[in-house]
Amino acid sequence: MLKKAWKDPIWSKVIAWGIIAAIIFLWGYFTGAFSVIKGWVIGFPSLIGGWISYSWKFLWLKSEVAHWLLLLMSIICLLAVIALILRIKESLSKKQEITQRDYKRRLIDGLDIWWDYVGNYNIINISIFCPKCEYQIMPEFLGLRPSAPKKVCFICSNCEYRANDFIGNWEAFNRHVSFKIQHDLRTGKWEELANQSAEAGRKLTS
């Protein structure tokens, strides 16, 4: 039964504290520590009373500046310092708020797309990176002949990753990417994607 109680998470703590209490009791009994502690307990109220009496007399002692005023100013300064420390701690622990201007990265059609804004969220400087190795991809243009269908190929020269070809020219691809980004901004999906990008960036730098 004792073995079963020892394995129980609650009873095991009760038994452990009981053993500790027994050890303390035996130590105090045989060393006489209880009589010393008893003297402290009896003398503690008188000690506190004497301190309060001395403090009260000190507050009303005559000087160029009243002591009670010094005490009041000290308390105000102490509270101000505590408030300042708490404020700094809160600002340091608070996560930096992400805005739409921070949304500059998204996975589109198997490509890691980066961009920037100018003016009223006009999308510029679209860059393409490999989602596997973070290497920048230079697009390849096929179908330059008038009769051939135009398409853009995306092949990573570092790890040979290849995304799906885009049917159309480079300008059409830029419009395709811009429309997806603008849709995210309108629907509010940008916030979730921006947080994902920020978390991925922290993992890369850690």
Flag whether pLDDT at 10 surpasses 80: no
Give me the pLDDT at residue 60, please.
61
Predicted TM-score (pTM) above 0.85: no
Close Cβ partners of 190 (under 8 Å, ≥ 6 residues apart): 100, 103, 181, 184
Burial class, 130, CB count within 10 angstroms (exposed 0-12 / middle 13-18 / buried 19+): buried
Q: Which two tokens stand for residue 41?
A: 């307990």
Residue 178: how many other CB atoms lie within 10 Å: 15
Give me the pLDDT at residue 64, please.
61
Q: Which two tokens stand for residue 156?
A: 């990573």
Tens-digit pLDDT profile for residues 97-130: 778 888 889 899 999 999 999 888 889 999 999 9
Flag whether pLDDT at 77 surpasses 90: no
- What is the band of 23 on the pLDDT scale with cuts at 50, 70, 90? confident
More confident residue, 160 or 24: 160
Close Cβ partners of 128 (under 8 Å, ≥ 6 residues apart): 111, 112, 113, 114, 136, 137, 139, 154
- What is the band of 63 on the pLDDT scale with cuts at 50, 70, 90? low
Close Cβ partners of 171 (under 8 Å, ≥ 6 residues apart): none
User: What mean pLDDT is reported for the chain?
Assistant: 76
Neighbour order of strands in the sheet with 105-108: 105-108, 111-118, 122-129
**SS3 sequence of 162-186:** ECCCEECCHHHHHHHHHHHHHHHHH
Percent of the chain with pLDDT over 70: 61
More confident residue, 83 or 112: 112
Q: Where do the domains of the chain lie?
A: 11-93, 100-205
Percent of the chain with pLDDT over 90: 22
- What is the band of 202 on the pLDDT scale with cuts at 50, 70, 90? very low
pLDDT average, residue stretch 26-46: 62
